[in-house]
């Protein structure tokens, strides 16, 4: 394989990766702003892990995918759920006990890394979603940064500028290649 072919393949790969990065960053920023929180992807919500209460299941700074639920009364022990606490914060912990009182279903939860169960049991109507088993380590830090105004500007502008610079370099290289035959004919004349 010649150096030209290797350069062309590498060039196409870099262009494609920069373009995909730009599209992904636009998606993350727009989705975060539209939902007022974490982005949604194919019906799943992406949540940022803010504490170590569920380690080693997922580490602080990870992104987890959760599936919103319409029926929150049929969950079972060992399911990992995302729920709204009384102070309106969102928490993701594991169900350690299901309590049924007539029509009411209440879940006792606990973080995997916590010694004690959560003080307040979770009423079924406060369950927001169920953990799907998908975790992406460290991406939560990037997502939190993307939600800030500096992060949004940086993550949208940087891939675009890199793509423009790379395109300009590719165009300059192509122009030099076009000039090469002209210079060679001038030398022989």
Q: Name the residue among 61, 62, 89, 67 with its Cα closest to residue 80.
A: 67
Q: Are 93 and 118 in contact (CB under 8 A)?
A: yes
Determine the Cα–Cα distance for residues 67 and 42; give it in Å rounded to an integer: 10
Q: Are 80 and 93 in contact (CB under 8 A)?
A: yes
- CB neighbour list of residue 63: distance below 8 Å, 6 or more residues apart: 46, 47, 48, 49, 135, 136, 139, 140, 143
51 counts as catalytic: yes
Q: Is the dihedral of CA 36, 38, 43, 44 positive or negative?
A: negative
- CB neighbour list of residue 121: distance below 8 Å, 6 or more residues apart: 99, 106, 107, 108, 109
31, 32, 35, 51: the active-site residue: 51
Which residues are designated catalytic?
Answer: 51
């Amino acid at each position: 394989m010649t150096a030209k072919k290797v350069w062309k393949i590498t060039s196409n790969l870099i262009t494609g990766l920069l373009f995909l990065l730009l599209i992904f960053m636009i998606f993350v920023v727009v989705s975060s702003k539209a939902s007022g929180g974490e982005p949604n992807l194919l019906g799943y919500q992406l949540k940022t892990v803010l504490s170590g209460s569920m380690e080693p299941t997922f580490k602080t700074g990870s992104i987890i995918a959760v599936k919103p639920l319409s029926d929150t009364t049929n969950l079972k022990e060992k399911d990992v759920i995302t729920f709204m606490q009384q102070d309106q914060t969102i928490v993701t912990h594991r169900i350690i006990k299901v309590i049924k009182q007539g029509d009411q279903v209440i879940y006792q939860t606990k973080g995997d890394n916590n010694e004690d169960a959560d003080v307040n049991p979770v009423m079924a109507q406060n369950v927001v979603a169920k953990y799907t088993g998908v975790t992406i380590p460290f991406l939560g830090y990037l997502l939190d940064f993307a939600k800030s105004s500096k992060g949004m500007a940086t993550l949208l502008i940087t891939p675009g500028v890199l793509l423009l610079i790379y395109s300009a370099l590719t165009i300059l290289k192509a122009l030099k290649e076009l000039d090469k035959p002209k210079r060679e004919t001038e030398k022989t004349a």
